[in-house]
Amino acid sequence: MTEYSQIAVIVVADMEGSASRNDMEKRHARKEMYAWLERTLGPEWSRCVRGDRGDGLLMLWPLSVPDPVPPKVIVSRLLRLPETAPAGPGRPRLRVAIHIGQTFRDDQGFVGASIDETFRLNEAGTLKASLAEARGPVAYLLSEDIHKAVVRYGYEDFDPSGFHPTVVKVKESTLEAWLHLPAEDGLAARLAAQGTAPADHRTAPADQPTGEPRQTNGVHINIGGNAQISDTSISGRDLYL
């Protein structure tokens, strides 16, 4: 393993619903997925380092090589996937996560926190739900870093209004990201907003101890922890008013 990191654009693409296909269908969808990515990426396909994942793949474009591919070019080409999608029943649909960050390379491939984060973006519930509800064949989740480097930078190729901020939590990672659904901006905005405040992030206010009843629309009074008045119910002992 090298003792120094390389900055790379990192992409994870994964097929929806692979587990529901039989082996012959898996082989056909996998072949179509690879052909789809190759024709969309064009010359950038041969310039990336790839790792097969069965029903998906990891792609990296290191920026430390001579004549590196600019991140703008990679993102721009990937956003064309809906235009080159295969037709017909059983066509693959893709979740695509895009990140940029430090990676290390050894004899087996690449490793690093940025790669872990890209896989976790790809596994995010927000991205899965977006593809499930979308009419189109691709749903994208961009990391905060790649959004800042490409979309927010101000390149004319990208319309920032089509990317919606969200927060995803997968395993021990909480990541800021940007959801994009081509031609389905309203759906993307709604699902991104839902992801920003997931149910498992909702906690009791700081001044409400765990286990204490949540206040309702009526009156709720605690007296010394021994009595409660809530709506029309009175319970407890040693109550003096």
Please write the tens of the pLDDT for every residue from 160-193.
Answer: 999 999 999 888 889 999 999 999 999 999 999 9
Structure tokens at 31: 């072949």
Instruction: pLDDT band for 100, please (50, 70, 90 cuts).
Output: very high
Is 171 inside a domain boundary? Answer: yes
Is 227 inside a domain boundary? Answer: no
Is 19 inside a domain boundary? Answer: yes
Q: Please state the domain count of the chain.
A: 1
Distance CA 39, CA 36 (A): 5
List the alpha helices (DSSP H) in 42-112.
Answer: 71-78
Is 42 inside a domain boundary? Answer: yes
Is 83 inside a domain boundary? Answer: yes
Mean pLDDT, rounded, for 67-82: 96
Looking at residue 208, its pLDDT comes to 37
The CATH code of the domain that includes 79 is 3.30.70.1230
pLDDT in tens, 192-218: 999 875 444 433 333 333 344 444 444
Sign for the CA dihedral angle at 180, 181, 184, 188 comes to: negative
Distance CA 134, CA 111 (A): 32
DSSP 8-state assignment for residue 48: S
Domain that holds residue 38: 6-201
How deeply is 203 buried, as exposed, middle or buried, from its count of CB atoms within 10 A (0-12, 13-18, 19+)?
exposed
Is 150 inside a domain boundary? Answer: yes
Contact, 208 vs 214, CB < 8 A? yes
How deeply is 53 buried, as exposed, middle or buried, from its count of CB atoms within 10 A (0-12, 13-18, 19+)?
middle
Q: Is 137 helix (H, G, I), strand (E, B) or coil?
A: coil
Looking at residue 18, its pLDDT comes to 81
pLDDT in tens, 119-166: 999 999 999 999 999 999 999 999 999 999 999 998 988 999 999 999
Structure tokens at 116: 């872990």
Give the pTM: 0.80
Average pLDDT, rounded, for the chain? 83
